[in-house]
């Protein structure tokens, strides 16, 4: 069984490892229609009701090394855990039972990088990045305005992660930064089995997505401009023509090296902007955001959950009335299709620890609900919304073409491309 997962790993990881398992409108604060863009407690006409954060894991070891080029040593010392990022936590399934098997993680641990570490592992740098993100959230939601309790409370905060060590550890580090290691009991981090994961495009759990994207993945490196540049960079880096390499793999190794101060092949520096651009063009071809169904299959169930959480809060569903924060520890391949569906993808690869934050507000007088979306800490104007504070009805209309209930998702996944 393990060899099956490893074979499929040639496409990447969840970053594209899930692939085979596995323009941004940044708008300054503004006043529109009498609404204040900014949350300032009782000085705002809005009351903050709920926050949902989707965040990419922190810096990690590469998924694969660029073949035939200057090797670097991925030493275990790069994975030391800083004491301030530690919290008492437990990983469970969605019902609080034992952690499910983790075939994606097993596929990483079947290989060793030069230096002795496994591919795709969160590093000390990555742990600090998520701690820093937690501190940013702490300033906004605890210090500037007392929205959250200063210590972790499981009735107030829900933590969900893909069942992969780097995202689990990233969630733990964010919680440590957000609550400064103050906690009420053990922090539960909820995961699910790989076949049912909806926190990334699930190429194993959704047959139609695998069929559609497998073809587009193969095509992406053969698009004329991309193929021409790939041939040039392979020659200049001295990579044998028969070696399987693409711009996403090159970018992944290049960015991992740069982030940790490790040497890159000198020739690669002149190619840096091209590698970034071509990697994004490949991912856009694979996700094909011009076709609604592709984004539905990639992130439709996740978008449905985000909308349902807001609806439940507005409608006063008793079971979640104390819930104020949902944390989702995910991947670059989660954020990109989400940004595409929201209409705010800026054609740049999301950096480590990037976050999409959705705030649900309620007008103190009219009780109307509004959604405010930020990416990388910057407020975003969602196409179809009349302002930064987007009426929930408008936000639902903007996102609903891509949102899928679990039943509709399953029905679509079982279809063939010809249906």
C-alpha to C-alpha distances, 305 to 224, 299, 301, 331, nearest whole angstrom:
39, 10, 6, 17
Whether 332 is catalytic is: yes
| Residue of 229, 332, 355, 379 marked active site | 332
Q: Which helix (H) or strand (E) holds 378?
A: strand 378-380
Report residue 224 CA to chain centroid gap: 29
Judge whether 212 and 297 are in contact, CB under 8 Å.
Answer: yes
Strand partners, 159: 189, 327
Q: Among 57, 180, 260, 285, which one carries the catalytic annotation?
A: 57
Active site residue 180: no
Residue 310, token pair as written in the block: 């807001």
* C-alpha–C-alpha distance, residues 378 and 25, integer Å: 9
Catalytic residue numbers read 57, 332
């Amino acid at each position: 069984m393990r060899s099956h997962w490893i074979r499929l790993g040639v496409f990447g990881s969840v970053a594209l490892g899930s692939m085979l398992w596995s323009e941004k409108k940044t708008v300054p604060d503004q006043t529109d229609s009498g609404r204040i863009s900014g949350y300032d407690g009782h000085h705002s006409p809005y009351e903050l009701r709920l926050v949902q954060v989707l965040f990419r894991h922190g810096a990690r070891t590469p998924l694969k090394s660029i073949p035939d080029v200057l090797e670097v040593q991925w030493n275990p010392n790069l994975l030391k855990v800083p004491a301030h990022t530690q919290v008492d936590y437990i990983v469970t399934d969605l019902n609080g039972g034992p952690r499910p098997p983790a075939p994606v993680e097993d596929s990483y641990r079947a290989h060793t990088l030069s230096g002795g570490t496994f591919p795709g592992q969160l590093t000390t740098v990555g742990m600090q990045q998520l701690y820093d993100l937690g501190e940013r959230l702490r300033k906004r939601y605890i210090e500037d305005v007392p929205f959250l309790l200063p210590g972790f409370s499981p009735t107030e905060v829900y933590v969900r992660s893909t069942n992969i060590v780097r995202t689990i550890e990233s969630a733990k580090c964010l919680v440590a930064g957000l609550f400064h290691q103050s906690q009420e009991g053990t922090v539960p981090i909820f995961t699910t089995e790989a076949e049912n994961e909806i926190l990334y495009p699930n190429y194993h759990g959704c047959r139609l997505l695998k069929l559609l994207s497998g073809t587009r993945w193969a095509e992406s490196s053969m698009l004329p401009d991309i193929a021409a540049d790939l041939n040039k960079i392979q020659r200049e880096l001295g990579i044998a023509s028969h070696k399987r390499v693409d711009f996403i793999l090159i970018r992944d190794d290049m960015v991992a090296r740069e982030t940790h101060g490790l040497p890159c092949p000198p020739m690669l520096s002149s190619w840096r902007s091209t590698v970034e651009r071509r990697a994004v063009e490949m991912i856009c071809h694979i996700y094909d955001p011009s076709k609604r169904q592709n984004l539905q299959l990639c992130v439709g169930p996740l978008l449905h959950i985000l909308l349902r959480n807001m609806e439940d809060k507005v409608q006063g569903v008793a079971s979640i009335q104390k819930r104020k924060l949902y944390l989702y520890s995910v991947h670059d391949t989660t954020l990109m299709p989400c940004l595409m569906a929201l209409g705010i993808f800026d054609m740049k690869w999301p950096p480590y620890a990037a976050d999409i934050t959705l705030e649900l507000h309620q007008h103190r007088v009219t009780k109307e609900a509004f959604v405010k979306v930020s990416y990388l800490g910057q407020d975003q104007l969602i196409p179809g919304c009349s302002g930064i504070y987007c009426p929930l009805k408008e936000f639902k209309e903007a996102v609903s073409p891509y949102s899928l209930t679990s039943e509709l998702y399953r029905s679509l996944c079982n279809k063939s491309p010809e249906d």
